Copies of this chain bind each other. A is one copy, B any other.
């Protein structure tokens, strides 16, 4: 892949043709299925998302309509606050022609057991995709998404649903695939091609934040994905801030297979040393997240308060885990690409003491925002791959249709 030239009216449709041809060569079995966790899929699936996302982004830049649905619904379920993922999902749905609705669980009966199946079916009669964010409860977020998917699958097989809605993981307790893939798209653009990532060092490092209970899915998603392309992945965190085993084992295996490497260190500085990419980001210790899940389920508010205090006190021991200008000097030529899923805790801007110095953040703002801008297209690619039997052919049809997104002049 070459660098995407983000001119406003990029008419380089030859590049789109190449991407479609590449997509055709990596057939997936995602049709009539869902998109959950990147490291559980073969690498071809990842490439398919990358090709489809870039092709659609280029067609959009060229002013072409990507509408593939005349009518249909895209439903989102957010069990945590969100602005960018929420708007990315809505944008992706709108891009493809779906009307979005957000299921407000406070006014519905969706919960456990029987009713998940029932509600999942009841909202899906005209639904093509259900995007779910459920990242708060360790051991439960992915399970819930699987349950919704199994419910609509069964209703589809029973002939209750005329189509089988895809479940798209908008962040669970395990992975945050739309984020990690948007980040990967950004890195590919920045370094001029996926092959150029080979041999690059990426530091996925814990960073201090004055808040508590941030999910583990971003670091897990990053190590589970970036290890597949020959990169040297360095995961850094203070003792006790371990991640789940599954993504760590996946990263170790992928690194070996792809000719890269994987290490765990307990020093941000060591991780940043000669890094080409740094991703400093706070998360909660796994043990705290497990305890928290239990207490939340049991409604033990006093204990939750106490846990928060302990956790914040523990975090405070690692205030020097900050992506400062000094820390950045340790990276390759002092010029590593700084990444973050946003919003970052920026020292003296969004908080007194945070994950990153304001001057570092500001220097990379453009790259950060370009990266974020990939997300709607990554989600659109997942919808395309799960809802169309031959996505390359569908994209080719879009090109041939050559319909402008707005009334042309």
Binding site for B on A (CB under 8 A): 6-8, 60-61, 65-73, 81-84, 86-88, 90-91, 94-97, 99-101, 103, 107-110, 113-115, 118-119, 121-123, 125-127, 155-156, 158-163, 342-343, 346, 349-350, 366, 369-370, 372-373, 375-376, 387-390, 393-394, 397-398, 403-407, 409
Contacts and interface: CB of A to CB of B under 8 A. Distances in A.
Contacts of A68: 406-407
Contacts of A121: 369, 372
A383 B162 CA distance: 21
Given A100-B99, A407-B397, A409-B394, A376 B126 contact: yes
6 contacts: A67-B71, A82-B107, A84-B122, A91-B125, A121-B372, A388-B407
A58 B101 CA distance: 25
Contact of A163 (B8, B91, B375): B8
B72 A406 contact: yes
Nearest to A158: B366
A26 to B, nearest CB: 18
Contacts of A127: 91
A357 to B, nearest CB: 13
Given A121-B369, A160-B369, A393-B409, 19 more contacts: A6-B160, A8-B163, A66-B71, A71-B94, A72-B406, A83-B123, A86-B107, A87-B123, A109-B343, A114-B346, A114-B349, A115-B343, A122-B342, A125-B375, A158-B366, A158-B369, A160-B366, A388-B406, A397-B409
Contacts of A108: 81, 83
Contact of A160 (B160, B349, B373): B373
B65 A70 contact: yes
Nearest to A64: B70
Contact of A65 (B7, B71, B393, B404): B71
Contacts of A65: 70-71
Nearest to A371: B160
A107 B94 contact: no
Contact of A350 (B70, B115, B343, B389): B115
Contact of A162 (B8, B161, B403): B8
A32 to B, nearest CB: 10
A388 B409 CA distance: 9
A403 B73 contact: no
A36 to B, nearest CB: 23
A178 to B, nearest CB: 13
A204 to B, nearest CB: 22
A351 to B, nearest CB: 11
Contacts of A94: 71-73, 99, 126
Q: Which of A71, A388, A394 has the most CB of B within 10 A?
A: A71
A148 B196 CA distance: 37
